[in-house]
Structure 1
Amino acid sequence: MEDFFEALTSECKNTALPEEFNYFGKLIGNWAIDYIESNNSLSIKGEWYFSWVLEGMAIQDVIILPDYEYGTSLRIYNPDTHAWDVAYGYTGKIIRLEAREQNDMIVLTYINDKKRKWIFTRIEDNRFHWKNVTVKDDGEWNINAEIFAERIK
């Protein structure tokens, strides 16, 4: 199994990935998170881990929300579109998204529903904020869930 992890993980970003598109790079590391759902006030403490993989051309993460959801995302930089192709999977479901930087945010848009988005915002060295939103017809964002993250390592 150790060979698998050595083959998967990378120590750093591949130099072929342009720095201007390395907007997920600040997330590399381990995070303590507070997950909050808006519609039912559900609040869960969890963990979120991000690592370079696939020779530094992709980032994989694992999110752990005990007794609720365990999931993983694979974010692969696409040099043809200058965006990141993202697949998020958890028990019984896989979601495809495309990620682009917009202003000071990373916006991941669902491939099958452009009104559904995941937003990384306020990304700092030791904290970030994440939102699961639905864009209403008037353009306003309805926040479905939020994560407040603090760096562990």
Structure 2
Amino acid sequence: MAVSSPDSMLELLSADGPDPEHADALMLYGRLVGNWTISNRYRFPDGQWRTAAGEWRFGWALGGRVVQDVLFCPEFHGRYPGTTVRMYDVNTGLWQITWFSPKLPSYFSQTGRPDGDGGMIQEGTDPDGRRSRWTFTDVTPASFHWQGFSAGPDGEFALFQEMHATRA
């Protein structure tokens, strides 16, 4: 058996576009494929809001049924990015979503769907088991607004992060 080069794994992971059989549904997140510059505002555990610039790159993966992204904001997390894997479930019509950042370490599991206004809503749980909600709104070919919410002890959602993205 031949030993594979590291590039071969990346070649197997990447895809040139959406799976043609489900292309229309896959474009919910597929329209984000490309590179974006972001202004990232994050509430730190001390309650203070901090803002930093970053990059968000989206691409097709795993036969074109997955949209994967890498979020890189060096001022907040050093040189360690996080990634989201969004898999379109052809049986339910929903998106199964996992975000993780090994450096923090942190992860979220969510289910995504259209929000009815041209955006997307993702709901699930954070690493502590609290309900989470992430939204993509004002989505255009050139920009979008993302917000992350976490439920407090009273069950009400509170904003903990937001990003304004512009296509690079």
- TM score, norm. by length of structure 2: 0.81
Larger proportion of strand? 1
Runs of 4+ aligned residues of structure 1 deviating over 3 Å after TM superposition are 111-115, 134-141
State the percentage of identical aligned residues.
Answer: 26
Residues in 2 aligned to 1:103 and 1:136: alpha-carbon distance in whole angstroms: 26
Aligned to 1:49: 57
Alignment of 1:6-85 (within 5 A): 6-38=11-43, 39-69=47-77, 70-85=81-96
Larger proportion of helix? 2
Residues in 2 aligned to 1:5 and 1:136: alpha-carbon distance in whole angstroms: 39
Aligned to 2:3: none
Unaligned runs of 5+ in 1: none
Q: 1:132–1:144: 8 Å Cα contact kept in structure 2? A: yes
Map Cα deviations across residues 86-120 of structure 1 (whole Å, 9 max, x no partner). 11110222221100111122001014657420001
Unaligned runs of 5+ in 2: 1-5
Q: 2:125–2:131: 8 Å Cα contact kept in structure 1? A: no
Residues in 1 aligned to 2:17 and 2:23: alpha-carbon distance in whole angstroms: 13
Residues in 2 aligned to 1:78 and 1:135: alpha-carbon distance in whole angstroms: 26
Whichever residue aligns with residue 83 of structure 2, its letter is: T
Q: 1:78–1:84: 8 Å Cα contact kept in structure 2? A: yes
Residues in 2 aligned to 1:21 and 1:59: alpha-carbon distance in whole angstroms: 8
Q: 2:65–2:87: 8 Å Cα contact kept in structure 1? A: yes
Map Cα deviations across residues 2-32 of structure 1 (whole Å, 9 max, x no partner). 2122111111100122514521011000000
Aligned to 1:87: 98
How far 1:150 moved relative to its partner? 0.6
Aligned to 1:102: 115
Number of residue pairs matched?
152
Q: 1:17–1:77: 8 Å Cα contact kept in structure 2? A: no
Map Cα deviations across residues 59-103 of structure 1 (whole Å, 9 max, x no partner). 110000104232001110011221000111102222211001111
